[in-house]
Amino acid sequence: MKGTKKNAAQKHESLMTAESAGDEAKIGSSSRRGTLLVVTGPSGVGKGTIVGPLLMSVDQIAKSVSVTTRERRPGETEGVDYFFRTQEQFFNMRELGEFLESAEFAGNFYGTPVRWVDEKLRAGLDVILEIEVQGAKQVRQKRQDAVLIFISPPSFEVLEQRLRKRATETEPEMARRLAKARDEMDERDLFDYEVINDNIEEAVRNLQSIVYAERLRIKIRDEAQR
């Protein structure tokens, strides 16, 4: 049955369910609903550098697993690294409103599965999305309960230095990336929190503080969403 349409449909229906069942067993019947945390910022600011230590140091938190149309790479695991889908499957999911946000990058499509996220939240897990600024704005339009965190560099000059150290782009490509980064930094006031990534340890501590503060919140951001 491998490769048949029936198998693909079953695979789609089971998307984002197996992992959440295990998390529910670990957490039990917690009455607390998790918080949707969106970490964003310009390219090169170091989002992953501080999200990684956060996930290792805070319990009851999960990083969102995206759906993608790109080919699976050696060592990648379905449902852990990504949910791998064909372009047709992806477009169908998007038409059905199954993504919190979606984007195209380098000819491949990526999206955050709303069902997976909501299952984690209902199980009492905080869910962290590490996405681009445009995607974060999509989430804000759909989910007023989301907590949006903007990661900033110490300065635009420092960000430019970090990007140039990569030495992976031509000068025109670099100019476009820097222009985009400047525009994104101008939008920081749209977000709920700002964490400046100057010192990694301090940035991680600040991100941890936001997670814990949101867990202590009495007034829910949008009762209708919860």
> Using one digit for the tens of pLDDT, what is the confidence trace for 157-209?
999 998 898 877 889 988 988 999 999 999 999 999 999 999 999 999 999 99
Report how far residue 210's alpha carbon sits from residue 148's, in angstroms, rounded to the nearest whole number: 10
- Split at pLDDT 50, 70, 90, the class of 220 is low
178-183: Cβ within 8 A, 24+ apart:
180/42, 180/43, 181/42, 181/43, 181/44, 181/156, 182/156
Task: Please state, in angstroms and rounded to a whole number, the distance separating the CA atoms of residues 100 and 130.
Answer: 13
Query: What pLDDT, on the 0 to 100 scale, is given for residue 33?
Result: 92
Q: How many whole angstroms separate alpha carbon 101 and alpha carbon 125?
A: 20
Q: Evaluate if residue 20 carries a pLDDT over 90.
A: no
pTM: predicted TM-score of the whole model, two decimal places: 0.79
Cα–Cα distance between 23 and 189 in angstroms, integer? 34
Residue 17 has pLDDT above 50, yes or no: no
Higher pLDDT among residues 47 and 226, named by residue: 47
For residue 32, name the pLDDT band (cuts at 50, 70, 90).
Answer: confident
pLDDT at residue 218, as a whole number: 84
Q: Return the pLDDT at 219.
A: 72
For residue 46, give every residue at least 6 positions away whose Cβ sits within 8 Å of its Cβ, in sequence order, or none: 151, 153, 162, 197, 200, 203
pLDDT in tens, 34-47: 999 999 999 899 99
Higher pLDDT, 141 or 2: 141
Band of pLDDT at residue 25, cut at 50, 70 and 90: very low
- The answer, yes or no, to whether residue 211 has pLDDT greater than 90, is yes
pLDDT of residue 22: 40
The overall average pLDDT reported for the chain is 86
pLDDT, position 16: 46
28 pLDDT exceeds 80? no
What is the C-alpha radius of gyration for the chain, rounded to an integer number of angstroms? 18
Q: Which domains does the chain have, with CATH numbers?
A: 30-219 (3.40.50.300)
For residue 221, the model assigns a pLDDT of 65
pLDDT digits over 85-106, tens only?
999 999 999 999 999 999 998 7
Q: What is residue 213's predicted lDDT score, i.e. its pLDDT?
A: 96
